Structures are given as structure tokens and as C-alpha cells.
Structure 1
Amino acid sequence: MVAERLSKTWFNLVHGRNIVYNQCWEDPRLDRVALNLTANDRVVVITSAGCNALDYALAGAGHVHAVDMNPRQNALLQLKLAAARHLDYEDYWQIFGRGRHENWDTLYPRHLRKNLPNDARVFWDRKGQLFSPQGRGRSFYFRTTSGTFAWLVNTYIDRVAKMRDSVNALLAADSVQQQKDIYTEYKLAAALWKPMIRWAMRRDITLSLLGVPASQRKHIDDSYPGGILQFVMDRVEAVFTKLPLKDNYFWRVYLTGEYTPDCCPEYCKPESYQALRNGVADHVTTHTNSVLGFLKQSEHPVTRFILLDHMDWLTRDPAKKILTEEWQGIIDRAAPNARILWRSAGLQGDFVNTLKVQVDGQPREVGSLLHYNPSLANELHSKDRVHTYGSFCIADLKR
């Protein structure tokens, strides 16, 4: 119990005043297929870094509600929206493609500050240096909480393991077979997973930098052979040897500190920037709230829910009560045949099935209300470029 309290205290200390996620860590290419978005869809998604909220709007969603309890995550999405509306593309790309801008100190007050909501303005007045080309890593993607972890990994790659040439070779590989050959020839597994790294990856203090709380680590430890360390090792090997890295912007940005024009999120591309500027940005709004809090306040039915992996955080008592209340809120606010996506670190994402909710005054288990599509979910999950989740669920809500 003491260790658990200390872990929770550290997690809260790390994340209490920070942007945790500087890019989304869920592959929206999967979500586009699973969601089949149209102009009639009202979407609720946890904001994270806002990349995927923009992606859903660009995919044609009628409106995207980005909801996050961390106001700093919403401030990041609001900055992206303001930049799309008020900067030219080159400046936009320098900030979000390269993670820095040589003239941030003049660009921000002149073009962005006045176009931000007050809360976001206050935050970026204090934290604008995150996009400064000076300082650690020279990139936004090596800053913030998750960025700090990426910077530490790169420091290890450059100074301890001395494997930068082999990492660059992997990123430049023309095929998965070439990636596999490089991974084997350079013995990257042995170079990467030295004893001190194995030890660190079992520590909550390390995992907290990735936004992984103790509850989620325990979820992995309970469901994956070899626990959290083996889970991470297997996922890293799969990314490097089984999936194309050419368009894997998730891993590229954390291994280099920046995207490239050919390997970047959809919202960073010129045609998407132009679409956002021409009105698509107006289809996205932010809400600093919990999912349940937002649903209680919303007056409109929701057709699509994207819950990321946050339910892993709520699988143990007493947080499980919050999870049950959230599902009650989803059921109460869902449009007919609403579709719900979520991810889990565990190998099975159907742990929500036994939650008890009320439907028309009658008790029901959540599982009895969900029609899963495991064939599509498994097909998409195998192609996931992030590849750090144990399972991916697609379910339609049937009453």
C-alpha cells in the first residue's frame, strides 16, 4: 500500500502541471476504417495531443468534441487550431512538423496569442519556450513529459549504446526485410536492452513519463507473460522487424525529434492544413472535463466514442466505480447504433462486459449491450503502427 501511494504521488507530481502527450499515441489510420465517419457523426474523443481529433474532422466527421481533464492537452490542440487558421504553411510546419520555430518569440505574440482562448493564452505565455530552437533537444517532441522520456532514450542511444547509425539505417530502410536484417546484423536487441534499461522499464517512476500509471502497469503484469518488461521488448521488436517504418511517424518523431514531409500526421500535410484553414477547424471544439462530465452536460446524442486506453486506469477498486458511471453516461447519451472504440494494454479489452448499468430502469451488463466486431478489430490491430497496445476493440451499442 505504501509503494502504491508513493507511485500515485509521483505520477501526479510528474503530470500535475505538464503537457503529458506531445503527439497522439493511437493510430488514426485504423480509426478511420473502424469509424467510417460522415457529416452526420458527432464524435467524442479524449484530446491527448489533439492530432487525432483533427484527423477525424479531416476524415469528414460532422463535429469532434475533444475532451480532456488536463487543460494543458486542450491548450495544445487550441494552439494547433489557431496556427492552422492564422499562420502560413511554412510557419505551421516549422512548429508542428519540426517541433521548433526560429522566430517563435515574435511569431507567437504577433499571430497566435490573440487568437487563443484565455486559458490557452495563459499557458502558452508561460510555456512557449517548448517550441524554442534553443535548449534541450531543440524540439517540442523532446520536451513535455513523454518528450522527456524520448530525449532520455535518445541520449542512451547516442552516448551509451552508441547505436545512432543503426537506428538511422532502420528509419531509412526500404522494406521490412531490410529492417529485420539491420536489426539482426547490428544486434540491436542486445544493444538496447542492457540490464539498467531492463531495470528502469519495470519502475513506475520511468513509466509515469510515458503516461502509464501503476494501475495500467499492473493490468499488463497480470495479463501478459513476462509482465511489463517483456511486453515492451516484444512490441519494440515487432515495430522494428515486422512493420514498415517508412510511414511510421509515431516512432520516427521520438527517435529523431521531428517529422518529415513524407512521414507525419495528417494534420501536418499541406492539403490538410488548407482544409483546416478553409473551415474544417471549426468542426473541432475542446472541453476541459472528464468524459462523464462532458456527457452529463451535452444536449446532443453522440454517434462515435473514442476512449483511447484510459479505461485501463480504472479497472481496479475504487476507480472501477468511476468506470461504471462513465459507461452509464455513454449509454444515456449514445445515439442509436453508436460505435465505440477503445484500446487496452491487456490482451483482452472486453473487461468492461461485467459492469452493471441501467437501461430503461432495468439492470443490464455492458457486455449484453455491445456488438463486437472482432474480425475487423484484429485485422486493423495487426497493422497498428504504434503497436504498443495489447488489444483493440470496436463495438456497436445495441439496446
Structure 2
Amino acid sequence: MKKQTSSRLFWIPVCLGLTHWTLQAKLLQPFLIQYRWAHALLFSLIGTLLSMCVAWDQVKTPLMFMYSCFFKPLGKHDNHQSRLESFYQDQASIYDRTRDSLLRGRRTMLKLSAAHLKSQLANGTYGNRKPIWIDLGGGTGWNIEQMNKSLPIDQFEHVYLVDLTPSLCKIAEERFKRNGWTNVTVLCQDASTFQADVPLDGRVQLVTMSYSLSMMDGYFAVVDRVQSLLCADGVVGVCDFYVSGRTSPASERGLAHLRRQCHWLTRYFWQMWFEFDHIHLAPGRRDYLEYKFGTVKSLNRRNHFIVPYLVQIPYYIWLGSAVKNTLASSTAVIDDDIDSLASNQSSPKLAPSTFSALTVAQKNKQWRLDYQPDLPCHTQFRSYIYAFTWEDPRVDLSYLNLSSDDVMFVITSAGDNALEYALHKPKRIHCIDLNPCQNHLLELKLASIASLPYEDVWRMFGDGRHPHFQSLLHETLSPNLSTYAFQYWSQHSDRFSHKFYKTGYSGLALNIFEWWVRMNGLSGQVEAMCHAKTIEEQKAIWLEKIRPCIFSPMIRKILNNPMFMWNALGVPMNQMNMFLQECTTQQYIEDTLDPIPGHSLLSQDQYFYYLCMMQHYHRDSCPSYLTKDGFEKLKTALDVFRLHTDSILNVLQSLPDNYLTRMVVMDHMDWFDPESHDELDDEIKQMARACQVGGQVYWRSAGCVPWYNRLFEKHGFKVEALAIRKSGQAIDRVNMYASFYRGIKL
């Protein structure tokens, strides 16, 4: 190799000498002076020659690839194997070097497959048996070598690579011999009819197809064969090019398939383009795959090959289960504590969005319930509004008096308070949010607590950044995430690359606060206040340095803007009107903030405001799920959660009579218009029906005496004020709301 390199370098001085001689030639000088374009062209040609001399290998490989794929005539062949061999035999030795940027998603598919296998092995799904893996259309064995990085090959009982192309199989055999793997067998046979040395039907834990299903002529037979090979808990992983049909297939309804549909030009162009190489992208292949198997994970991507944003080749990554999960069982009961629903004649009609069968991905962690992600009520949300919960759970818990018999109904928000309640181990916590992204966030927290070590969870949600989040998502978290949440976090994996709490709509307020602090030169004072050692020191910094700047004319003007109040602080117009009937915006903010510095130390107790100022939590000032003790306790309490992506009214209507014992509905009733409150009236009526006698509903409000208190009394609740804020006094560590109420069902 060194000799070849030095021989190429020999030509550099030769070329330079020829260039010098050419420029000095009297015959060419007038021509070059008059025609500057020729001068430039000559230098370009010389530069190209130099590059080719120095790096011929870099030029040779793509040229061979281009010739084999675009120019080489395939000729006529009697069978599929002969055609494949003609196409691949000249490029077998360079196959792996030329496919990395074209065949995207293979690593992700393998990592997801490995993660699910490791999860099953850890749960004892296979007992003492090692898994068997078949890689159909495995080619050069690249997949198996990559899998070894996530799940060592010696952890498999046996691995079979099946491919119809002799030249590629030869490369695979050489690769496996170099690695010393004795439990890997190469079968140069057809994927639909191959035979191993031992019977494999019903014994295989993993089957993968990486850019091979689209090249198989009899794909029906191949998919059917895969189904016959897999054991009951087996997984199939596929990564391939695709084009969508005009409409979504029936198998897709009820599942999260973001960005699956292709533009009409994309559909026709890529299908015709790949047909020249006998690669078939018609949507029927993927549809049949999803028809035969239950979807575990699904990602739809675009490969910006060679020319970014101009060339967009659709490809998908998909994991399926041998156990078919259909939406036909939309009334299947999934809660052990409400298994009497089906026979309860007094119960309202079950809502499919609430009690549909869980996706296969949730067999072990039944948190997320199915919903229709393409409904307008869900698609209006592009992100979560709240990256952190803004209500004080300590006050809630002082009244809730939770026991193991309690069934809770809470608004999800960022999930922090729901996790706080779970530490007291109630029987069930139903988390409800119309915004799917809020449930994606809580689901990520649940999956992280279930499968990650404490330090990784702290880095994600304590520090608000984790440089390896994408790897954790694919290799560890994915088995515990629904396909909805997995797709969302795959698309937004950069959220943990810098400051997580500056994301979402609530992150806008943190960004504005950070800008305002810098503009006023208060960075040092904010830091000092957040780490003050005494209450007196904390109050002095607030009163002397920070408060005078907060209530400046510009800030007052911003706070009086309804658009800012909604987008940055999550305060809708109806809620803003409630407190404006009692005071000005400035007075409301003063009554909120002034008592906080004298309440307790930010670095030890006030994690809400510490987070807003520092964009991360402190080890001594954080929600309980981020403490070491809370984290360990929650690992055994996660099965209490059920996540509903629907409106409060719809979920309430789906619950049986006298089912709930505790409800925490935050401040959402402030959002309703007091002049038109029929929906809220129906909602409170359903609360009364679903609550047991003695059941309790808790709410906060921006008003001292909310107008809807009378609706609770109308529907049989005794309403009592637990706290009403007064100037200079804090009712909790946040002190954002003017009142805190409880309704007890009589």
C-alpha cells in the first residue's frame, strides 16, 4: 500500500513541472492572456489530474458503483438469481463502501431490534434459551457485524444469513471467518424456500430484512415464511425504500405513522426509477407486512442522497411482532381494576380511544392507550406547552391523603406531579391530556425511570442535556416507548443536546427571561439569589437588584399582551380576564412573586423558580423523581399509570360510575368562557357521576372566587376553599394562583 501511495506522489512534481513549462511556452502565452477562461480551465484540469493521482481509490469506488448501477447492461436472464449475480458480481468487493449513504436507517433498525431482544432476555421471555436470528437478503454480512456492536453474536444460539447472490455470500463468509464466529451460517438460497440444517419453524426470535424485501419477486411467500419462522414472542425488523399509496392503508389507522404519505410526484418518480433495477416500491409490500404482523415501532424518513433537500428518497424503519395486534378489539379491557366494565350496564359507552387494545410495544409497560393521531384536536399541537409542571404537589399531597385504594384522575401536563403522587402508591393514576406531546413527555420519563440508571435520568431531566440521548433512545428506551412517543422523540432527539427546559412553548418564557437578565446585567445577581445561603440574603437580592428591573414599563407592557401570556406562560384569554376583574396584571404578578424570596431557599426547596432562572435543577432542589430515593421507589410503582390522549370530557364519559376517588384538574376550568359553559357543565356532571361518594376534586384558579364553583354545587359537590392568596403571603411554593379549592361529592 505504501508503494502505491508513493508512486502516485511521484506524479505531483511531474505535473507541476509540466504546468510550469506550459505557462512559459511562448506559443500559449498570448492565448492564455486573451482568453482567461481557458487559463482557468487549464488549471481546473491540472487540479483534477492531481486529485486523481493522489486519491485514485476515492475516485475508483464511486465510478465502479455508478457503472454497475446506472450504465452496465444487465442483459436477459433465466432466473432471479442470475440477474442478481450479474448486477452484484462486479461490485461485491466495494458494496459496503458504497451503500452507507444510500441505505440509511440500517443501524437504527438493528439497534431497535437488539434493544427489544435484550429487553426480552432480561425479562426471561426465552428462559435459558439463546435467541436465533435470520437475516434475509443479508448480502455481505454487514448487518451481522453491526449487530455485534449492540448485541454480541455469541449471545445468539445461531445466526443464519440467507441471500440469493453467490458473490455477496462469498464476501459474507470471508467476513465471518475473520471474526471467528462459528455460530453463523451463510445460506445461498431463496428467502421463501430456504432450508437450514435444523428445522426452524416457530423457533426464531428475530428476522430482519434490510433493503431486501423490495428486491424479492414473491414477497407474499417471503412474508408468510417469516410468519411461520417466528416464535410467539418473535420480532421482525425491516428497513427499506417505499412509496405510499394515495390514501392511508387500513393497517395504519390507529397507529402513529408520521410523514408516511408521499407527494404524488415522489410516489411515481421513485417507483419508476427503482423499477429499472428490479427494485419494487409499490405500497402493497409494506401494507402486507403490516397486515400480517403487529406494529411495534415505525419510522418514516427521507434520504437526502447526494443533493440535500432536492433528492428525497422515502425509506422506513419498522419493527413488528409475531402476535398480530388489531383494532378490532377496540373494546378490549386493559385495566385489571375495571374488568367489570363490559358487564356494567349502567356505564356509558366505552370510548375506543380510551379502551382500545394496547399496541404490541406496550405488552410489558401498559402506560399509553391508543388514540387517533391524525385527528385535528391532536394535530393542532406541534410540541408540548409545558416542559415542567408549575403546580406545587406538596400542598396537594397534604390534602389528598392517598392510599392503595385510590384511583386518581389527573391532567398530565409535564407529568412531574403525577410522578409525585405515584410515590404514595395509589391503585391507579389516569393521566389525561389532549396534547399528545405532553403524554410523549411523561411516557419518556416513565421509560427512562424503568430502563436507565439514575445518572442518565438526572442528566436528561436534571441537567437538561444528554449528549448520547439518541443512542439511549434506540438502544435502551425504545422497548418501553409506544410507537407514538418513539416517533416523536426520534424526530426531536436534539431536545437534549443543549438545554431541554428551553424547549416547548414554556421554553419561550425562559428564553425571554435569560435575554432580559443579560440585557440588564443581572446574571451575577440571579446566580447569587439562586444560591443564597440565608432567606435574608435571598430577599435582599430580590428587593434591591432584581425586583426594580422586573417591574419596568417595558415588562409591564409585555405582561399585558394576551399573545405573550398564552404562548410564553400558557395563560389563555379567559383566564387572564378572570384576574383582571380583581386586579391589574402588575398587581397579580407582584402578589405572585413578592412572597417567594421569603418563603424558602431556591437552592434547597424552590425548584420551580430555580429551574426558571438556571434552566436546570439543583441536586437539592428538584422534583422527587429526580432524587436518588424517589427514583428507586418509582421503579416499582410505574404500573399504576394509564395515559389517555383525549379530552377530559371524553375520558370521563368512558369511565364507569363511582370509579374515581381523587381528581386533580389544575386550572383548566379557568380556560372556559363563563358566558358559554355548556361543555364545562357536562364535564363537572361527568365528574360527579364517575366519582365515588366522598370522592374529591381539586382545582386551582387565577380568580379568588371562580365563577364555576356554583356548577360543582349544582352537581352535588360541597365546595371549600383550601387557600386564597393575600398580598404578601404565599399559599404554596409557586404562588402563581389566587386560590386553591376542593369539591367533595356528597
Under a length normalisation based on structure 2, what TM-score does the superposition of the two structures give? 0.47
Question: What SS class does the counterpart of residue 581 from structure 2 fall into?
Answer: helix
Provide the rounded CA distance (Å) in 1 between the counterparts of 2:717 and 2:572: 29
What does 1:199-278 align with in structure 2 at a 5 Å threshold?
Answer: 199-208=557-566, 209-223=568-582, 225=583, 227-245=584-602, 246-277=604-635
Give the gaps of 5 or more residues in structure 2.
1-376
Provide the rounded CA distance (Å) in 2 between the counterparts of 1:191 and 1:313: 30
Alignment of 1:310 with 2:668, yes or no, is yes
Shift of 1:371: 4.5
Among 384, 395, 398, which residue is 2:743 paired with? 395
Provide the rounded CA distance (Å) in 1 between the counterparts of 2:422 and 2:723: 22
Paired position in structure 1 for 2:400? 35
Conserved in 2, the CA contact under 8 Å of 1:42 and 1:301?
Answer: yes
Among 382, 386, 391, which residue is 1:17 paired with? 382
One-letter amino acid of the structure 1 residue matched with residue 514 of structure 2: N
Among 529, 538, 542, which residue is 1:183 paired with? 542
Shift of 1:105: 2.2
Conserved in 2, the CA contact under 8 Å of 1:67 and 1:289?
Answer: yes
Q: Which has the larger radius of gyration?
A: 2
Conserved in 2, the CA contact under 8 Å of 1:371 and 1:397?
Answer: no
Question: What SS class does the counterpart of residue 40 from structure 1 fall into?
Answer: coil
Among 714, 718, 732, which residue is 1:365 paired with? 714
Shift of 1:229: 2.7
Among 690, 698, 703, which residue is 1:333 paired with? 690
One-letter amino acid of the structure 2 residue matched with residue 247 of structure 1: D
Paired position in structure 1 for 2:637? 280
Paired position in structure 2 for 1:7? none
Among 492, 497, 514, which residue is 1:154 paired with? 514
Question: What SS class does the counterpart of residue 144 from structure 1 fall into?
Answer: coil
Paired position in structure 1 for 2:468? 103
Alignment of 1:385 with 2:744, yes or no, is no
Shift of 1:52: 0.7
Paired position in structure 1 for 2:12? none
One-letter amino acid of the structure 1 residue matched with residue 608 of structure 2: F
Among 690, 700, 711, which residue is 1:355 paired with? 711
Question: What SS class does the counterpart of residue 650 from structure 2 fall into?
Answer: helix
What does 1:161-180 align with in structure 2 at a 5 Å threshold?
Answer: 161-180=520-539
Shift of 1:101: 0.3
What does 1:89-128 align with in structure 2 at a 5 Å threshold?
Answer: 89-128=454-493
Provide the rounded CA distance (Å) in 2 between the counterparts of 1:244 and 1:216: 30
Conserved in 2, the CA contact under 8 Å of 1:303 and 1:335?
Answer: yes
Question: Could you list the per-position Cα deviations for residues 243-273 of structure 1 after superposition, in whole angstroms to 9, with x for gaps in the alignment?
Answer: 4423111111111011011000011111111
Q: Which has the higher contact order (CA 8 A, sep 6+)?
A: 1
Provide the rounded CA distance (Å) in 1 between the counterparts of 2:495 and 2:674: 35
Question: What SS class does the counterpart of residue 543 from structure 2 fall into?
Answer: helix
Provide the rounded CA distance (Å) in 2 between the counterparts of 1:62 and 1:114: 24
Provide the rounded CA distance (Å) in 2 between the counterparts of 1:29 and 1:103: 33
Among 627, 649, 657, which residue is 1:292 paired with? 649
Deviation larger for 302-311 or 238-247: 238-247
Provide the rounded CA distance (Å) in 2 between the counterparts of 1:391 and 1:122: 39
Shift of 1:311: 0.4
One-letter amino acid of the structure 2 residue matched with residue 128 of structure 1: S
Shift of 1:109: 1.0
Provide the rounded CA distance (Å) in 2 between the counterparts of 1:68 and 1:365: 26
One-letter amino acid of the structure 2 residue matched with residue 114 of structure 1: P
One-letter amino acid of the structure 2 residue matched with residue 35 of structure 1: L
Question: What SS class does the counterpart of residue 555 from structure 2 fall into?
Answer: helix
Deviation larger for 166-175 or 70-79: 166-175
Shift of 1:215: 0.9
Provide the rounded CA distance (Å) in 1 between the counterparts of 2:415 and 2:381: 19
Shift of 1:390: 0.5
Conserved in 2, the CA contact under 8 Å of 1:163 and 1:191?
Answer: no
Q: Percent same amino acid among aligned pairs?
A: 32
Provide the rounded CA distance (Å) in 2 between the counterparts of 1:183 and 1:87: 39
One-letter amino acid of the structure 2 residue matched with residue 365 of structure 1: K
One-letter amino acid of the structure 2 residue matched with residue 75 of structure 1: H
One-letter amino acid of the structure 2 residue matched with residue 100 of structure 1: R
Q: Kindly tell me: are residues 369 and 234 of structure 1, through their superposed partners in 2, closer, same or farther at Cα, counting changes over 3 Å? A: closer
Q: Kindly tell me: are residues 198 and 15 of structure 1, through their superposed partners in 2, closer, same or farther at Cα, counting changes over 3 Å? A: farther
One-letter amino acid of the structure 1 residue matched with residue 487 of structure 2: V
Q: Kindly tell me: are residues 229 and 377 of structure 1, through their superposed partners in 2, closer, same or farther at Cα, counting changes over 3 Å? A: closer
Equivalent residues, number = 365
Conserved in 2, the CA contact under 8 Å of 1:315 and 1:323?
Answer: no
One-letter amino acid of the structure 2 residue matched with residue 388 of structure 1: M
Conserved in 2, the CA contact under 8 Å of 1:32 and 1:59?
Answer: no
Question: What SS class does the counterpart of residue 316 from structure 1 fall into?
Answer: coil
Provide the rounded CA distance (Å) in 2 between the counterparts of 1:233 and 1:284: 37
Shift of 1:116: 0.6
Conserved in 2, the CA contact under 8 Å of 1:141 and 1:258?
Answer: yes
Conserved in 1, the CA contact under 8 Å of 2:719 and 2:741?
Answer: no
Provide the rounded CA distance (Å) in 2 between the counterparts of 1:369 and 1:247: 34
Question: Could you list the per-position Cα deviations for residues 123-179 of structure 1 after superposition, in whole angstroms to 9, with x for gaps in the alignment?
Answer: 1111121111xxxxx211111110121121111112x11111111221122332222
Question: What SS class does the counterpart of residue 124 from structure 1 fall into?
Answer: helix
Whichever structure has more helix as a proportion of its residues is 1
Paired position in structure 2 for 1:3? none
What does 1:139-150 align with in structure 2 at a 5 Å threshold?
Answer: 139-150=499-510
Provide the rounded CA distance (Å) in 2 between the counterparts of 1:353 and 1:235: 23
